[in-house]
Amino acid sequence: MPELPEVETMRRGIAAIAGSTIAAAVRVACRCRPILIQPRPAALARRLVGRTIAEVGRLGKRVVLRLDSGDRLVFEPRMTGLVLVADPPSEEHLRFRLDLAGGPIPNLWYWDRRGLGSVRLMTERQLADQLGNGQLGPDALDLSADELRARFASSRRAIKVALLDQRAVAGIGNLYASEILHLARVHPAKRCDLLTAPQWQAIHCRMLEVLHKAILHEGSTLSDGTYRNALNQSGGYQSLHRVYDRAGETCGQCQSTSIVRIVQAQRATFFCPNCQRKRRR
């Protein structure tokens, strides 16, 4: 689940660890499905212990710690991962821990209920090879309207499906794509190459609006309660969702039509058939 707003909230929540020195790096014993940790714990600890965290950054849906050695420690939460500086939601799903010295925060935790995420230490070259060179598109918050249109305008894919392509634009996932298109009044199944210039402008404008507002509210904690910020507190943007997971409810924008759920590329999409008409007269 964590998308750009949730991961940016995690990044901001742990930002104070910048300047701290790593005293220990521990793969926490867990009886659940193991997560990917690279390199192996002993080698990872050798390269981490004694290093200073120079910067806390984000790359798409990943939290990235830049070390004084030039290496990057990359946390990828995937569906249920959390990067925390406070007590985790449960002990049984703890996966990884950094002990820190010389700063205000003693520990950084990685918690993952389903075990789909990863913790990887990469050199600068490895990061460029795996997440650069076209592997990951520009961040959604850094993209201009013209750049957004240029990346998608010739595609025959449905706009909702296209927005999920991390090689084209990084950070947008299923939840926020539905919210963006509803506010932009664009049908999620509309082909990219059939969208007009004003529609592209609306999508870009609403993309920035939704993402910034979601960050302001520290992300969305859905009904399963999994997502938490770095202090193990719920996000607040879920109370502002207009269509996501609201199938059958009356659209708050037109006040006349029920929200509909469809499936696109094996993912649930929510929209209002009245506000988001595929063909307009």
CA atoms 206, 212, 66, 120: torsion sign: negative
Both tokens assigned to 226 = 């999994």
Distances (CA, A) of 1 to 44, 80, 166, 223: 27, 6, 14, 12
More confident residue, 279 or 91: 91
Dist. CA 117–CA 281, nearest whole Å: 46
* One-character DSSP codes across 27-67: E---SSPPPEEES-HHHHHHHHTT-BEEEEEEETTEEEEEE
Cis check for the bond before 39: say yes or no (omega within 30 of 0): yes
Least confident of 10-19, 124-133, 238-247: 124-133
pLDDT value at residue 280: 56
For each of the domains in the chain, give its residue range(s) and CATH number, in order of start. 4-131 (3.20.190.10), 140-238 (1.10.8.50)
**Axis crossing angle, helix 174-184 with helix 197-216, rounded to the nearest 10:** 130
**For tokens 């830049």, what's the residue?**
66
Residue 59 — φ and ψ, nearest 5°?
-130, 100
Dist. CA 164–CA 267, nearest whole Å: 10
38 contacts: CB under 8 Å, gap ≥ 6: 44, 118, 119, 120, 121
Dist. CA 138–CA 148, nearest whole Å: 10
Least confident of 8-22, 124-138, 234-248: 124-138
| 90: pLDDT strictly greater than 60 | yes
Record the pTM.
0.96
Q: Is 267 a catalytic residue?
A: yes
Q: How sure is the predictor about 281, in pLDDT bands with cuts at 50, 70 and 90? A: very low
Dist. CA 157–CA 106, nearest whole Å: 47
Which of the residues 2, 5, 77, 88 is marked catalytic?
Answer: 2
Amino acid at 89: P
Q: Which residues pair with 82 in a beta bridge?
A: 111
Which of the residues 147, 267, 273, 277 is marked catalytic?
Answer: 267
Which of the residues 3, 6, 76, 218 is marked catalytic?
Answer: 3
| 88: pLDDT strictly greater than 50 | yes
Span 53-77, mean pLDDT? 98
Q: Is 281 a catalytic residue?
A: no
Can you tell me whether residue 95 is helix, strand or coil?
strand
Reported residue count of the chain is 281
Span 93-118, mean pLDDT? 96
Cβ(265)–Cβ(161) below 8 Å? yes
| 279: pLDDT strictly greater than 60 | yes
| 223: pLDDT strictly greater than 60 | yes
CA atoms 210, 198, 196, 279: torsion sign: positive
Cα 118 from chain centroid (whole Å) = 14
Which of the residues 27, 58, 61, 206 is marked catalytic?
Answer: 61
